[in-house]
Chains A and B, each alone.
Chain A
Amino acid sequence: MPKESSRREFIKRSTKGAAVGGVTAVAVPAAAAESAPKPLKTAHTHQSTSICPYCAVGCSVVVHTLGDKSRNVKPAIVHIEGDPDSPINRGTLCPKGASLEEFVQSDRRLTTVQYRAPGSREWTRITWAEAMTKMARRIKDSRDQGFEATDAQGRTVNRLGNIAMIGGCTDTNEINYLLSKFRFGLGLLAYENQSRL
């Protein structure tokens, strides 16, 4: 897998993508006498391949970032478009996929840990460390309260019934596997994902 395609490679890939549609790809340089078209916004980007996080067609996307990750540079996404190499989408995307750049950089993204105390009317910002300490305590206290080592017939059941866990369908297999370890570590049974809904 090319880690970073050069500009030339990318043009070549697009050409292939276009050829699938049955039409020869055409590059159309502006004639010398014309005023040049505006500069290409992906001209100097680093390209990473990813998969669209929406429905499960599984379209591949190319994420264009600016910034080379050197000491003071944090790359930022300038554009996301369909990956022409994917036999699934061949560079195409749907209206949600075509707007992924805007999803990643939405001004509604959460960037701080928020805490809501019992009975409070508002969120307050807390640190990760504080949140971890508190959350681990809640989980342990609830588990100690609700864990059933043996049932009424004296059989070993090692199950937890008073904590539920949901989610995972928006995240990778590996995250789901870690969640399964977390869950079975606790002995938790009430565990569901979006496939039920």
Chain B
Amino acid sequence: MIVAKLIDTTLCIGCKACEVACQEWNDQEYTLGTFGGTYQTMPDLSHNFWNLIKFNEMERDGGTSWLMSKYQCMHCADAGCLAACPAPGAIVPRANGTIDFVHENCIGCGYCITGCPFDVPRLSPTTKKVYKCSLCSDRTAVGLEPACIKTCPTNCLTFGERDELVRIAEARSVELKADGFADAGVYNPPGVGGTNVLYVLKHASEPEQYGLPKDPQIPWTVSLWKGPMKWLGSLMFWGTILGAFFHFVIYGPQDPAKHGHPEKEDEPSDKF
């Protein structure tokens, strides 16, 4: 059975309970932020912050609008991170469809970061391993909901069997359309084979307004790596020269602006 998380953004009040539940359950280290000019906890995800509510304030339809949406691992059916990962057993696709990182097997190469079309995994500057949401695999294994979902006060988050959630999401968007939101719909992008995190959006034709990519695709470099080249790549990764070559092919030149450069962000934060 494939499980999923449904995020009905029309019910999100931006309370961040899910952020805290995630931090607390996963015993994350807390960091102090610098003022960023919004209500958002931090500008982006980090290796010790896997679940972020994004706030987007705008004028639309003749009034003020404040969209809030949850940002975390999407647990893709066709997972770019998994495709890109060269380390055996570091990224585990669980039988229930969640993508779990097993850190003792992670070699910290960061390829999964490149492979992710949603820009989710983050490298820890201290452990040199990559982290992201596991959909609380420890909780789901014993019949508990993931921490974020359990704590959500407004029914914005639901956990369950994917097919059932797709039905609920579709019914909800029909309901929203009837309530006058003609553009309401479900976000379940086909480019990654569908995601195990589904969204109901009021403005479904503009997912960017919620910080979601319109048509996420696994990067062609990773697809190449995943496809005919993977057997070769797996062999070559361990060879130093060719490994360096592939690093360039896949990773390209380093672009420090792209990933919210976690190292730099962590620098000014007071650990406490």
Residues on A with beta carbons closer than 8 Å to the beta carbon of B102: 35
Decide if the interface of chain B is mainly helix, strand, loop or mixed. mixed
Check A27/B143 contact, CB under 8 A, given A35-B89, A91-B150.
yes
Q: Which of B128-144 contact A (CB under 8 A)?
A: 134, 137-144
**B19 contacts the other chain (Cβ, under 8 Å)?**
yes
Check A37/B3 contact, CB under 8 A, given A91-B150, A95-B19.
no
Q: How many A-B pairs fall under 8 Å by CB?
A: 126
Cα distance, A36 to B142, chains bound together (Å): 12
A163 to chain B, nearest CB (A): 38
Decide if the interface of chain A is mainly helix, strand, loop or mixed. loop
Cα distance, A23 to B137, chains bound together (Å): 19
**A92 B152 Cβ-Cβ under 8 A:** yes
Check A93/B94 contact, CB under 8 A, given A23-B159, A35-B102, A79-B25.
no
Please classify how large the interface on chain A is, using the bins under 10, 10 to 19, 20 to 34, 35 or more.
35 or more
B148-159 contact mask (Cβ, 8 Å, vs A): 1 or 0: 001111010011
Binds B, one of A10-18, A144-152, A185-193: A10-18
Closest to B30 in A: A102
**A31 contacts the other chain (Cβ, under 8 Å)?**
yes
Check A23/B168 contact, CB under 8 A, given A37-B141, A79-B25, A97-B17.
yes
Q: Which of B1-30 contact A (CB under 8 A)?
A: 1, 3, 15-17, 19-21, 23-25, 27
**B221 contacts the other chain (Cβ, under 8 Å)?**
no
Residues on B with beta carbons closer than 8 Å to the beta carbon of A102: 24
Check A40/B153 contact, CB under 8 A, given A35-B102, A95-B19.
no
B33 to chain A, nearest CB (A): 15
Residues on A with beta carbons closer than 8 Å to the beta carbon of B98: 28
Q: A41-B27, A97-B151 are in contact. List 20 more A-B contacts (CB 8 A).
A: A11-B142, A18-B159, A22-B158, A23-B161, A23-B168, A25-B143, A26-B161, A30-B141, A31-B94, A34-B94, A37-B94, A37-B141, A40-B141, A41-B25, A81-B21, A81-B150, A91-B150, A92-B152, A92-B153, A102-B24
4 interchain residue pairs of minimum CB distance: A27-B143, A23-B160, A37-B137, A98-B20
